[in-house]
Amino acid sequence: MILQTPAVETATGHVAEMYREDLDEAGFVYRHTAVMAINPEAHERFVDLVRSVVPSIGLRVYELATLGAARAVPSPHCLLAHANKSITSGALTEEEVGAIARHEEDDALPPADAAVVAFASRMTEDPTAMTDADSLRLREVGFSDRQILDITLAAGVRNLFSRTLRALAVPVEDVPGLDAELASVLRGLG
């Protein structure tokens, strides 16, 4: 990675907040955080967009869409980070995250959850092939129009972040506290 990132010791404002979150959670600043700290205004807008979609769909559905999109990119950064966030927040279990990583969500998740993962994956893999039938599947399992839009935005936001990290060749770090076997599976997807 050729980009020069802001130093932890001199960080102020939003950059200092970004770094503090990583330091509190992981004990170090992830390289993907440091890269985003180059443009803290863009990172703030990214966070604002995430915060605008979560209320209608909840953290669990947000994480399902995130993992589905990250798996399809594929993005080991986002898979590892959001596997850990999903598990530590209680949004998903380790077994559910593992099932998503292994493409076994249809057998391991309730139909509505599996539909979210499938929608986010399909959107990421080939959005031009999507039709109203894809959105209709989400409606059939109980999602409102607002929720369908917010699931789509959650997957879109993950595409932006994941593809940015991949394009810049940002190194992938281990995520402290994440089961080693699950981490290996998630890394193998990227």
Q: Where are the beta strands (DSSP E) in 80-156?
A: none
The full set of domains in the chain, from first to last, is: 56-189 (1.20.1290.10)
What pLDDT is recorded for position 114? 97
What pLDDT is recorded for position 153? 97
Name the DSSP class of 127.
Answer: G
Q: Which of 70, 92, 88 is nearest to 79 (CA)?
A: 70
Q: What is the mean pLDDT of residues 136-157?
A: 97
Q: What is the mean pLDDT of residues 72-78?
A: 91
On the question of pLDDT at 83 being above 80, the answer is yes
* 151: amino acid identity, one letter: I
Residue 179's pLDDT band (cuts 50, 70, 90): confident
Q: Which of 190, 174, 167, 173 is nearest to 2 (CA)?
A: 167
Distance CA 172, CA 175 (A): 9
**End-to-end alpha carbon distance in the chain:** 17
For the stretch 5-26, pLDDT in tens is 999 999 999 999 999 998 998 8
| Percent of the chain residues past pLDDT 90, beyond the cut | 79
147 contacts 52 by C-beta, under 8 angstroms: no
What pLDDT is recorded for position 190? 56
What pLDDT is recorded for position 1? 77
What pLDDT is recorded for position 188? 78
Q: What's the mean per-residue pLDDT of the chain?
A: 93
What pLDDT is recorded for position 175? 85
Distance CA 26, CA 4 (A): 22
What pLDDT is recorded for position 2? 86
Contacts of 60 (CB under 8 A, 6+ apart): 91, 92, 113
